Structure 1
Amino acid sequence: MRPVRTAGWTVVALLLMALAVPWFMWRDATVAFGLPVWLWWHIGWMVLASIVFAVFARTDWGLGVEEVH
């Protein structure tokens, strides 16, 4: 089960990294609630990354680092 969990967390980490920079929003000047949409994207990404890290820290901290006994 550990290799499956490691692979799952790896996929989640890669997705978070891929979504960190909204390349598709470059040169878009759309504003929502007084801030550019790309900034809202970044705020949402930070919230999502924080939640994912909290779940990882509570459930699988040390996965891929600690030895299995």
Structure 2
Amino acid sequence: MLYAHASRVFHKETNPHNALPMVQAHGDREVWLNPPPIPLETEELDWVFELPYQRLPHPTYGDAAVRRWR
């Protein structure tokens, strides 16, 4: 029953327009789950996709082979 309650609370907080941060104690620490961001408008999303992405592995990899990239 506790899992069902936790699952319901989690799913209720997935709406970016009214979600609140969730905090769970874990030992002497806390786990924070921030609300999801507000979705981008069409123009904002287009702007992001028009950025000059390199489509290459990050330079810090140097000459090392990166799996799944060709």
What range is the shorter-chain TM-score in? under 0.3
Work out which structure has the larger RCO, using CA pairs closer than 8 Å and 6 or more positions apart in sequence.
1
TM-score (norm 1): 0.26
TM-score by length of 2: 0.26
Bigger strand share: 2
